[in-house]
Structure 1
Amino acid sequence: MKPLLLFFFSLLTLSGRAQTTGAVQGTVQAGSQPVPFASVGLKGSGQGVTVDEAGRFTLPNLPTGPYRLVVSAVGFQPLERPLTIMAGQTTTINLRLSAVPAALAEVVVTGVSRATELRKSPVPVAVLSKREVNLNSNGNLIDAAVKGVPGLSAVTTGPNISKPFIRGLGYNRVLTLYNGLRQEGQQWGDEHGIEIDQYDIDRIEVVKGPASLIYGSDAVAGVINMLPKLPNGLAGRLHGEALSEYQTNNNLIGTSLGLNYNQRGWQYAARGSYRLAQAYRNALEGRVYGTAFRELNLTGLAGVEKTWGSTHLTATLYDNFQEIPDGSRDSLSRRFTRQIFEGEQDDIKNRPLVPAAELGTYRINPLHQRIQHYRLLSRTQLRLGTGELHALLGAQQNVRREYNHPTAPNQAGLAVALNTYNYDLRYAAPAWHGLEATVGLNGMHQRNHNQDATDFPIPDYQLTDVGGFGYLKKTFGPLDLSGGLRYDTRLLRWADFYVGPNPATGFDGQLTAAEAGGQAPQFAAFRTRYGGLSASLGATYSFSERLVLRANVARGYRAPNITEVGSNGLDPGAHIVYLGNRSFGPEFSLQQDIGLSAYLPDAELSASVFNNHINNYIYQARLTDAAGQPVVIVPGNATYQYQQGRAQLYGGELTVNLHPQAAPAWALSNSLAYVTGLNRAADQVETHGAAARYLPLIPPLRTRTELRLTQQRARGRFTNAYLRAVLDYNAPQNRFYALDDTETRTAGYALLGLGAGTGLLGGADKREVLQLFLQLDNAFNTVYQSHLNRLKYFEYYATTPNGRRGIYNQGRNFSLKVVVPF
């Protein structure tokens, strides 16, 4: 009897459920096209689903009653509709979303927990497309980004060496990424750039502000993420592009061939690029000896993208031969000279002149560096219901050699090999009552090894980073709040490292403890652990779809790098003896950002200001003796010792872009960027006065104005034709770190650029078969020095016949770039 009663009770229960539940199904479209992977949910219920590739969705087994159906998708206005679930019925509803203006719908994947619309980011984020990069003539990828992003600058050592700075902070405070993988390649050094193929990058995203919450140490100033393009185009056909460019100033020749193929979700891509250039020139000095380079890049990708997610494996090779300038020249003629002897036999004032034939050649001179970078990267994204799991694994090897011995050209002065292993795991949980949560764990392990060399600025070392974070985001109508916490730890260690004479080479070399015979190690054993808490709280408020206010306050963390703590030797490429400090603690910054953006029918306006206080700020200062004279440890090379104190940086950016609807072919873009860096170390300022008031390597006020005329529709075979004029102005830099003549005043200058280009249509389908870009930079051949040009300080004489000191920047340059897509 009891089993029978239970049976009837179960039937009644199921019958009751059938009568008190219902379902809703439908589609999400924009115009006549589906919106795949949009989010559909019932407000306040926790019930939600992601629509499929065809825009269809179903929410089954819903309790009866009234609801508010909420639909959202990146690039579209959120939609909210009333809905009543009827017992035993399936309600069908078709939802249509409205696209927001393109400038508002821009999606970024850097510096946030998941793909986010640009307007939703509480910190300033700038995006640069491949076409914008192609419009300019660039010596390297960082220079391309500097031209397009206000607040971004670069410390340079010739046309192929640029170190990115964001709002006055650089080196290990700016994290550079290749497709999300942090770039690790001895970035503490001045004399080499990033190891990335500029022809392979489809998009550059720049976060201006602390991003330590997501990435950990080394992102205290911001992030630059360089994203390659995934294979696309008609499935089952081979696609790609061939690129060739020529620049007249240094006779740069660049070629690149990219191929991609996709079929049933499987994706494959490959690219090979080669660039070579002679020494660059300017109107004052002619060709600048030691600035030629030769660079090879190879890239391969294989992956799959399905409804469950995607996974991709990328392998890259970078091989660069880069000359090393030292600025030596004849005292009267100011012609460049070259080093042929070493030690006491090397008389800097009587070095021989560089023959003209060696200035205008593609051959790399004996004093050069070679940088090889190998990268293996795996990225996986899994869709788990309405949540997402992201996994990144990477392995890199960076091998850097500097050949600085003219009497032994095959003997490297510096030779280091850095192996790095990275991991990054993030889980973006399904939205719960409108709350988006992301948790993550990332870090890296490094081993650096000195190879057969004669100079050892840093020891062999091991470094291990581990960090975890939690990030939350919640929308309250027009208000978006986001923030999170993170904790990082870094273990840095090395054993005793001995250096002494090597009879086989005649130079110094690495010794074992037994070979050292009781002498003190150049680098005594060291082991310490750093740790720090990062935090961020930000908000964006949309007064309307076209007016957005954003604010953010963040605490950033950065552990000292190897050279700041452990350096004790000559870096031959930089011509500097670096001395570190083992007692340094981590840097902590507290930065406030506020910005306002307006997206009007005829204009886009954006203004942002920031204020950044940094405790334990680390910087370089020239070492002096008790009499105030520069200390010289290695003749012909300066000596710098790292210092730590307090600093403040403040400034902002302003952009005004006009694109009148009445004249859509015309566009006027204007930008302004300003930053001041103050040394808040009381002992420095009290002791040295105004000379120590400002921080080193602070860019001057900069404005950039561009007028562009663009063809609106194809005429005959011509499409996307344009004309442009660009005026780039850098104000005088009178606020500089003047202590011990570390820096000097830099005069202001203005550079005019002119450009033109077009696309050509061909074939029966009238597709674009060729893109042509012409650009003339520094049209008036202006003689100038950038304040962040390291060559400005490459000078051996106290006075010069023409009153000009140091090396000047590149003169007039005409570039021709041809891209053939297929």
Structure 2
Amino acid sequence: MKLTYFLLLTFVLSCYSQVASAQATGSIWGQVLAEGKPLELATVVLPGNRLGTATDAKGHFVLDGVPAGSQEVVISSIGFQGQRQRLTVVAGQTHSVHVQLTPTPAALQEVVVTGVSRTTELRKSPVPIAVLSRREVNLNGSSNVIDAAVKGVPGLSAVTTGPNISKPFIRGLGYNRVLTLYNGLRQEGQQWGDEHGIEIDQYDIDRIEVVKGPASLIYGSDAVAGVINMLPRLPNGPAGELHGDALTEYQTNNNLIGTSLGLHYNRNGWQYAARGSYRLAQAYRNALEGRVYGTAFRELNLTAMAGLEKTWGATQLYATLYNNLQEIPDGSRDSLSRRFTRQVFEGEQDDIKHRPLVSDADLATYRINPLHQRIQHYRLLSRTRLRLAQGELHALLGAQQNVRREYNHPTAPAQAGLAVALNTYNYDLRYAAPAWQGIEATLGLNGMYQTNTNRNATDFPIPDYTLFDVGGYFFLKKSFGKLDLSGGLRYDTRVLRWADFYVGKNPATGFPQQVEGRSGLAPQFSAFRGTYRGVSASVGATYSLSDRLVLRANVARGYRAPNITEVGSNGLDPGAHIVYLGNRSFGPEFSLQEDLGLSAYLPDAELSASVFHNAINNYIYQARLNGPDGQPVIIVPGNATYQYQQGRALLYGAEATVNLHPRALPSLTLSNSLAYVTGLNREAQLLEANGAAAKYLPLIPPLRTRSEARLTSQQPWGHLVHAYVRAVLDYNAPQNRFYAVDNTETRTAGYALLGVGLGTGLATGPEKREWLQLFVQLDNALNTTYQSHLNRLKYFEYYAASPTGRRGIYNQGRNFSLKITMAF
């Protein structure tokens, strides 16, 4: 009932402004030129209203449904200096804007909105921000949206468990240290688990924005490493006309089939959109092992949106549904042939050495095997922006429910081992005050209320709990000519609590079950109440040494409260095959990070370099638990045991990009990036006890470089437009700096992956409107056998040695992908 009332309240608040307004809107049309010629595909946006479009082959554009009043139009295009124009829109009238762009890298002025208090520009942000467009996501063949982002953003990596589960890491920090947003709403889907992916429809994402560095000032806990904001597409195009797009995708490695259909409509400021997407895949394969049992999946996404843009502001309401069936790999094999085997018995009857082999038919099927997880995620999101005199009030309200079931009982396939329901209610209020004496001030308040409930299950890694989180902040920004200063302060409070939680034996099934308290029965989770408080702060500056050279620096104190598993876990997570043990005495993490960067925007190149230094107190990590005899502690047979630890840590590293686009060869683009991070353990007691084995932190990615050469046609070839060919070399160095205590991690060999691709658009009509896009990509073209250091399947091994000398499961082999998008 609480969820029902909250959803009703959210809807009422989001619609409050709608019923009172029937104000008309105006239109903006114009032409964008460059060096006297029409410029196609230039971006034209109204940042305050998030309305946008692109120019056609003649450089023309039209923006309908523009609220009356003062508006700022931002025009940008790759390779040109962006421009801004302000005009007053009169209701019922059409206004013209004509712009001449000057050749210069557009990255100088690209508008971003993630991780900052209000709309800002890339060059004026003191912390590194990366932006990935929908087209760049489509260029790369990937099984999920996080993998697509990893390929395009230096410093971003992912812990993976098969092709459809990727958890983002920024500069060596992940899990609850990276905050993932869907259109500004924090994603709450039990993201603490290794085998828990991101419940977002990748086909609906129009833009990905990544903040690399502490963003705790704006978002509070869980943004200590950075923010990834997934922005869905908004309705655009001519008013009063129904338009949409269709997508189909096929990948050969796991026979992935993906389809998506979207519709959108806008008229008189009203906006409507809907999308349905479906993907299914068989087990992936590589040259060493063939198909990897337990990696097939099936995923459904539905999205609906309604909104209104008027002179008083805007309001939008989103509803999404995510339903995923995901197999659970365990890596069991025949000891000699190394073929995968399946579990058919439990307990003492389950002999790993005598499990039956998985047949070829069961490896090459879309049917989900009995050992799998089912994740359902429901989201309701309301975003409202109100103009108050010269200021703006932004309100975000959200409700989410994440239901996760993991089926790990082969003798009782309908019985879930893990079954939890997480309800989260989010709120975020932000007031952008009018500028005073050149100072832009923003005040904000945000947080969440969360309840977690165990349902009919047999394993209970965490208790039922409630969480309340609230934080307030202020942020100031002022420009002094070439110097832009910004900074702010925030205070957070989080309360986490649960009651005694008892587990007993079900006499009918023999499995454990949750029970009421009984005399003489000790609770698996004793009652707990913890309060965590922290102060976050940030101060940064950008300085334009010249029109083409920008220096940026930032110092930030981040805060993160420990999550539920780190404090309260005491049981088996079936999907991870790990028994987690938490620690109630943990305090919040506090980090102090310094960033320094230099960017150069030259006529033929864009260069950037940044370094960072991050010292963390009370750093929490997980490590394999060994007994006094030095042997691994086994609480549940066939499953490892990990216990969370806390100490001091230091991370430092660097990132660099060199993007060349010579004016003498406008069709050629050469992109190069490098990312490096080292994580050091600074806990004296651990270092004294374990020596060099404890020197480094776990889950630190190796040095990585990525180079791409791309040729893109500048002129149409008949009906073909924007045709391109590309070659990509992705190199990961050996990781010799790893957390080796109790063999928690092992060395990972280096590898290089070659990718090639091509694609084109199809345009028709006198305006040469592009209505179809084709993307062809061949990844791991040489079918290289490799293991990523952040691949959890690397450690799925039951034997101390193997006949081949190779242990664990390897990453995906050669993959040919074909993607077609059609607009109508």
Q: Report the secondary structure of 2:239's partner residue.
A: coil
Give 2:14's aligned residue.
none
Contact 2:45–2:75 (Cα < 8 Å) also in 1: no
What per-residue deviation string (whole Å, max 9, x for no partner) do you get for residues 293-333 of structure 1? 00000000000112221100000000000000000000000
Structure-2 separation of matches of 1:670 and 1:133: 17
Give 2:3's aligned residue.
none
Structure-1 separation of matches of 2:251 and 2:813: 12
Contact 1:28–1:34 (Cα < 8 Å) also in 2: no
Give the one of 667, 670, 673 matched to 1:668.
670
Structure-1 separation of matches of 2:472 and 2:817: 46
What per-residue deviation string (whole Å, max 9, x for no partner) do you get for residues 669-726 of structure 1? 0000000000000111111000000000000000000000001121210001000000
Structure 2 residue 215 is the aligned partner of structure 1 residue 211: yes
Give the one of 542, 559, 571 matched to 1:540.
542
Contact 2:420–2:452 (Cα < 8 Å) also in 1: yes
Q: Shift of residue 209 of structure 1?
A: 0.2
Contact 2:82–2:109 (Cα < 8 Å) also in 1: no
Kindly provide the amino acid, as one letter, of the partner of residue 699 in structure 2: L
Q: Shift of residue 517 of structure 1?
A: 2.9
Give 2:242's aligned residue.
238
The 5-angstrom pairing of residues 113-192 of structure 1 reads 113-192=117-196
Change (3 A) 1:313 1:37: closer
Change (3 A) 1:249 1:444: same
- Return 384-393 or 188-197, whichever deviates more: 384-393
Structure-2 separation of matches of 1:615 and 1:102: 39
Give 1:524's aligned residue.
526
Give the one of 713, 716, 721 matched to 2:715.
713
Give 2:618's aligned residue.
616
Give 1:581's aligned residue.
583
Contact 2:47–2:73 (Cα < 8 Å) also in 1: no
Q: Report the secondary structure of 2:567's partner residue.
A: helix
Structure 2 residue 494 is the aligned partner of structure 1 residue 490: yes
Change (3 A) 1:207 1:36: closer
Q: CA RMSD in A?
A: 2.3
Structure-2 separation of matches of 1:125 and 1:770: 31
Structure 2 residue 392 is the aligned partner of structure 1 residue 392: no
Give 1:798's aligned residue.
800
Kindly provide the amino acid, as one letter, of the partner of residue 190 in structure 1: D
Change (3 A) 1:301 1:34: closer
Structure-2 separation of matches of 1:645 and 1:768: 55
The 5-angstrom pairing of residues 50-89 of structure 1 reads none
Structure-2 separation of matches of 1:432 and 1:72: 23
Structure-2 separation of matches of 1:432 and 1:74: 27
Contact 1:692–1:738 (Cα < 8 Å) also in 2: yes
Give 1:815's aligned residue.
817
Change (3 A) 1:773 1:37: closer
Q: Report the secondary structure of 2:714's partner residue.
A: coil
Q: Report the secondary structure of 1:422's partner residue.
A: strand
Change (3 A) 1:544 1:333: same
Q: Report the secondary structure of 1:557's partner residue.
A: strand
Change (3 A) 1:35 1:187: closer
Give the one of 104, 108, 127 matched to 2:108.
104
Q: Which runs of 5+ in 2 are unaligned?
A: 1-27, 34-42, 50-64, 86-96
Change (3 A) 1:37 1:140: closer
Q: Shift of residue 53 of structure 1?
A: 6.5
Structure-1 separation of matches of 2:588 and 2:739: 23
Structure-2 separation of matches of 1:789 and 1:722: 32
Change (3 A) 1:692 1:594: same
Q: Report the secondary structure of 1:138's partner residue.
A: coil
Structure-2 separation of matches of 1:694 and 1:387: 48
Give 2:593's aligned residue.
591
Structure-1 separation of matches of 2:565 and 2:268: 49
Change (3 A) 1:54 1:379: closer
Q: Report the secondary structure of 1:626's partner residue.
A: coil
Q: Report the secondary structure of 2:623's partner residue.
A: strand
The 5-angstrom pairing of residues 685-704 of structure 1 reads 685-704=687-706
Give the one of 417, 435, 448 matched to 2:421.
417
Change (3 A) 1:545 1:28: farther
Give the one of 778, 781, 786 matched to 1:779.
781
Q: Shift of residue 386 of structure 1?
A: 2.4
Contact 2:559–2:590 (Cα < 8 Å) also in 1: yes
Contact 2:46–2:73 (Cα < 8 Å) also in 1: no
Give the one of 446, 451, 473 matched to 1:469.
473
Kindly provide the amino acid, as one letter, of the partner of residue 672 in structure 1: L
Give the one of 564, 567, 592 matched to 1:562.
564
Structure-2 separation of matches of 1:586 and 1:247: 43
Give 1:229's aligned residue.
233
Change (3 A) 1:568 1:762: same
Contact 2:45–2:73 (Cα < 8 Å) also in 1: no
Give 2:411's aligned residue.
407
Structure 2 residue 410 is the aligned partner of structure 1 residue 430: no
Structure 2 residue 511 is the aligned partner of structure 1 residue 507: yes
Give 1:445's aligned residue.
449
Structure-2 separation of matches of 1:116 and 1:124: 13
Q: Shift of residue 518 of structure 1?
A: 2.6
Structure-2 separation of matches of 1:437 and 1:701: 39
Contact 1:371–1:398 (Cα < 8 Å) also in 2: yes
Change (3 A) 1:523 1:754: same
Give 1:248's aligned residue.
252
Q: Report the secondary structure of 1:300's partner residue.
A: strand
Contact 2:82–2:106 (Cα < 8 Å) also in 1: no
Give 1:20's aligned residue.
none
Give 2:90's aligned residue.
none
Structure-2 separation of matches of 1:669 and 1:277: 32
Contact 1:30–1:98 (Cα < 8 Å) also in 2: no
Kindly provide the amino acid, as one letter, of the partner of residue 691 in structure 1: A
Structure-2 separation of matches of 1:269 and 1:198: 16
Change (3 A) 1:781 1:31: closer
Q: Shift of residue 104 of structure 1?
A: 1.2
Q: Shift of residue 576 of structure 1?
A: 0.3
What per-residue deviation string (whole Å, max 9, x for no partner) do you get for residues 271-307 of structure 1? 0000000000000000000000000000000001122
Q: Shift of residue 405 of structure 1?
A: 0.0
Q: Shift of residue 192 of structure 1?
A: 2.0
Aligned residues: 757
Structure-2 separation of matches of 1:120 and 1:405: 55
- Return 646-655 or 754-763, whichever deviates more: 754-763
Contact 2:66–2:309 (Cα < 8 Å) also in 1: no
Change (3 A) 1:29 1:138: closer
Q: Report the secondary structure of 1:169's partner residue.
A: coil
Give 1:383's aligned residue.
387
What per-residue deviation string (whole Å, max 9, x for no partner) do you get for residues 589-620 of structure 1? 00000000111110000100000000000000
Give 1:343's aligned residue.
347
Change (3 A) 1:765 1:78: closer
Q: Shift of residue 766 of structure 1?
A: 2.9
Give the one of 725, 728, 731 matched to 2:727.
725
> Could you state the TM-score of these two structures normalised by the residue count of structure 1?
0.89
Structure-1 separation of matches of 2:115 and 2:622: 29
Structure-2 separation of matches of 1:738 and 1:747: 15
Give 2:742's aligned residue.
740
Structure-1 separation of matches of 2:163 and 2:280: 12
Change (3 A) 1:433 1:206: same
Q: Shift of residue 629 of structure 1?
A: 1.4
Contact 1:173–1:558 (Cα < 8 Å) also in 2: yes
Change (3 A) 1:34 1:597: closer
Q: Report the secondary structure of 2:273's partner residue.
A: strand
Give 1:9's aligned residue.
none
Give the one of 359, 362, 370 matched to 2:363.
359
Give the one of 600, 606, 612 matched to 1:604.
606
Q: Report the secondary structure of 1:787's partner residue.
A: coil
